[in-house]
Structure 1
Amino acid sequence: MHTGLTVGEFSRVSHLSVKTLRHYHDVELLTPADVDPGTGYRYYSLGQVPTAQVIVRLRNLEMPVADVKAVLATEDVGTRNELISAHLARLEDRLAQAQSAVESLRELLARPARGSAIEYRTVHGQPAIGIREVVDRQDVVSWWQGALGELHGFATARGLRRTGPMGGLFASELLQDERGEALVFLPVDGDARPVGRIDAVVVPGAELAVAVHHGPLETIDLTYGDLGTYAARHEIGVDGPLREFYLRSPLDATNEHDWVTEVGWPIFRSNG
C-alpha cells in the first residue's frame, strides 16, 4: 500500500500541473518518491514539496532545466549561489537589451516626419593614424571601441597634435555582406611611426551629405536611413565607404546618450 501523494494530489500541493510533473519525471528533474511497478502510478512524498517550490521559482525565472538540475544536485551553498547568480546576471543583460530596444522604438515613433537636417560638405584628404581591419558586423562595435581607445592612447603617449575629430570609414560590404573593411582614424600633424596595428594613413577626401546623430549607436541606423533616402531621392549617391566623425565619443562621455556623431554619405556634386 502506498502512503505518498498521487500525482494529482501532489499537483495541487505544488502548483505544478500533472503534465509538467510527468515531464519533470521524464527529464529526471523531479523524480517521484515511488512508482508502482504494476500500474505505473507515481507517488510523491511531502518532503518533495520544498524541492518543487524551488523548481517553480527557478523555472519562473526561465532557468533552463539542465541548470535547475545542477542547482538541485549540488550540496555546496556557494556553488549553488554562483549558479543562480550567473543566471540572474544573464536575465539582467537580457532585460537591459530589451529596455534598450524599447527606448529605440520609442525614439523612432517620436521622431519628426522631416527626419535629420542634412548639409553638403567637401572634406579633403588628411594625414592620420589609423587602425584598419576586415571585421564581422556583429563584432564591429567592440572593435570600434577598442580602436578608439588604442588610437587615443597612442596619440597621447607620442604627444601628437590632433588636427580634427576621430572618425571612421566603413565599407558597404560591412552592411551588405555582414563582413567588410573598417578604418578608425585620428587626424594628426606630423609623422607617426607604425606600431602594432596602428599605421600612418591618408584619409581620402570626399563629397558628403552629412547629418548629425545624437545618442547611442543602437539608433544610428535612423540617421543613416535619412541620409540614404535623401541621396536616393535626389539621385546623388555614389559608391564609397560610409564615414563617421566622432564629436563626442565614449572617450568624452560615459553616458552614450551624450554621444554626438556626424554621419557622412558619399555623394556626387557638380562644380557648376
Structure 2
Amino acid sequence: MFVTSPALTALPGIRHAFFTREGGVSEGLYASLNAGLGSGDDGDRVRENRRRMAAALGVADNALISCFQIHSPDVIVADRPHDGGDRPKADAVVTRVPGIACGVAAADCGPVLFADAVAGVVGAAHAGWKGAIGGVLEATIAAMEKLGADRARIHVAVGPLIRQPSYEVSQAFVDQFRAADEAYGGFFAPGRPGHAQFDLPGFIAARLSAAGIDRIDDLGLDTYADEARFYSYRRTTHRKEPDYGRHIAGIALVS
C-alpha cells in the first residue's frame, strides 16, 4: 500500500507514507488506490481510498490536508481539519499540529516530505519541474522555519517519481533550464536527436542542498517504469489513455 523512507522512519514522533497504487477500491485505469479528487474516477471510491490513507497515517478522515495543485511555489499552513470547502490552490503543506497530515498528490512529479522532529514541524511539497525551478522546495523550508523549524535539522525524503531514463524532454526544455542557470545543463543526459533525458530527482536534490538541507533520502523509485505499483502521467500520455490515477505522499506528527 505504501513505501517509506528509512531516514524519516527513524525520527521520533513522525509518521509518513508514500502511497502506491495498491490497496484501494478503484477500478480500471484507476486501479486501485487512486487519490485524485480531480480525476474522472468515481468520487465515492476516491474518498474511500483517501480514508484508507488517512487511517494509515493515523489521522482522521478530514485531517489529511492536500491542495488544489497548480505547479506553483505556494505553501499553505494546515492547523485544523478540512472544513469541507474548496481546497486552496498551492503545491505544499506544512504543519506543527499533531494529528494533521500534510499531503501532496503526484503521478510522475516529485513528492517531497520534510520533517524537523525536534521542533515538531513537518511538510510536504509537490515538485515537478515547474515547481522545483519555481522555488516550491525553498518556500516549503521557509514556511517550516516560520513555524519553528531549523533547516539544519530538517530531514527530507524524495519519493517515487519519473527518473532520468524515463524522462525524455525537448531541446527547448533544456534551453529553458540553461537560460535560468547554465549549470542546470548538468541535469540532462544525451537522448535521441533533438532531445535529452532529464534528471528530476537530481535537480530536486541539488535545489535542496543549495537551500542548506544536508539530510536527503531519495527512495530511487521510478513511477513510469513500475506500472504494477505506480501511476504515471507520462505513461498514460504515451498510451493515449483518457486519464490516470494519482498517488498521495503524506506526513504527520504523531498525536
Structure number, greater radius of gyration: 1
Which category of TM-score, normalised to the shorter sequence, fits these structures? under 0.3
Give me the TM-score of the superposition, normalised by structure 2: 0.23
Larger proportion of helix:
1
Higher RCO structure, 1 or 2 (CA under 8 Å, sep 6+)? 2
